[in-house]
Amino acid sequence: RKEVEQDPGPFNVPEGATVAFNCTYSNSASQSFFWYRQDCRKEPKLLMSVYSSGNEDGRFTAQLNRASQYISLLIRDSKLSDSATYLCVVNANAGNMLTFGGGTRLMVKP
Amino acid sequence: EAGVTQFPSHSVIEKGQTVTLRCDPISGHDNLYWYRRVMGKEIKFLLHFVKESKQDESGMPNNRFLAERTGGTYSTLKVQPAELEDSGVYFCASRSLLQYSPLHFGNGTRLTVT
C-alpha cells in the first residue's frame, strides 16, 4: 500500500459545481498535511495547510479525519481556473520528509 | 522575499553526459528537498538536507546521482552519466525548521536525456 493515495481522476465537473477529493495516508503518526495545486508543466503551489479542526479559505475547505486516516478538500462554486492537479502532501514520518500523493486531476467545464 | 530558484529551467543532454542542477532555497530555510517527477508518475522524493547535512537520501535512485549543499546554502544535484530514464522534472523545495511549515517549490528543471 502506498503511503499517500489519491484517486487520480479526472473529475470532470461543470462550472459552479461543488467537488470533493479525498486523500488517504498509511502512517498514523503523520502530523502535517497540505494540499498543493499543480498546473500543467508548473511547480506545485501551496493551496492550504490542513489543520486538525478543519479550515476554510474562501471556496476551499480542508478537513482531517485522523480516525480514518484521510484528508479531504472541498471546492465550492467551481471556476474554470480551478482546473489543475491537486496534490495531497503528508509529513509521513518523524524525519521531516514530506510524501506526495499521485494527485487528483480536476477539469472544470463551461 | 525571493522564492526558491532553480537553474537551468530546461536541459537537453545526450545519454552518457553529465548535468548539474542548482537550487537556491529561500533565505533562512534550513530544510532543502529534491524531488523528481517522471512523465505520468507521481512526484517522488529524492533527498533532504538540513543545512549542509544529508538528513535522508533514501530516494536517490542510484550512485549516478550526487547531491551537495556545501555551506548549507544552495544545493547542486549532479547526474553522471545520465541515462534515458533520468528524464523528468526535478523540483527543489525548501521550508523552515518550524513544525508544520509548508514546502515552497522552485519552478523545476526539465531534464531531457536523448
- Rounded to an integer, what distance in angstroms lies between the CA atom of residue B16 and that of residue A106? 38
Over residues B18-34, mean pLDDT: 95
- Looking at chain B, the number of H-run helices and the number of E-run strands are 0, 11
pLDDT score, position B23: 98
Residue B72 has pLDDT above 80, yes or no: yes
Q: Which residue has the higher pLDDT, A1 or B28?
A: B28
Mean pLDDT of B32-41: 90
> Could B103 and A98 be called an inter-chain contact, meaning their C-beta atoms sit closer than 8 Å?
yes
Query: What pLDDT score does A98 carry?
Result: 82
A23, containing H or E segment: strand A19-25
Read off the pLDDT band of A94 (50, 70, 90). Answer: low
Cβ neighbours of B50 in A, within 8 Å: 96
Nearest to B90, CA basis, from B67, B70, B106: B106
- Which grid coordinates belong to A63? 478537513
Label residue A40 by pLDDT band (50, 70, 90).
Answer: confident
Q: Vertex A79, ends A62 and A44: CA angle to 5°?
A: 55
C-alpha cell of residue B7? 537553474
Q: Which residues of B touch A90 (CB under 8 A)?
A: none
Which band of pLDDT confidence, cut at 50, 70 and 90, is reported for residue A96?
low
Q: Is the pLDDT of residue B87 over 70?
A: yes
Q: B99: part of which helix (H) or strand (E)?
A: none
Any CB–CB contact under 8 A between A52 and chain B?
A: no
Chain A nearest-CA distance from B16, in A, is 26
Q: What count of other Cβ atoms lies within 10 Å of the Cβ of residue A83?
A: 18
Task: Give the chain A residue nearest B103 (alpha carbons).
Answer: A46
Using the predicted structure, report yes or no on whether residue B7 has a pLDDT greater than 60: yes
Q: What is the predicted pLDDT for the residue at A92? A: 66
Sign of the alpha-carbon torsion through A19, A41, A45, B66: positive
What pLDDT sits at residue A93?
60
Q: Which residues contact B62 (CB under 8 A, 6 or more apart)?
A: none
**If you measure CA to CA, which chain B residue comes closest to A101?**
B42
Tell me if B100 and A49 make a contact (CB, 8 A cut-off).
yes
C-alpha cell at A107: 477539469
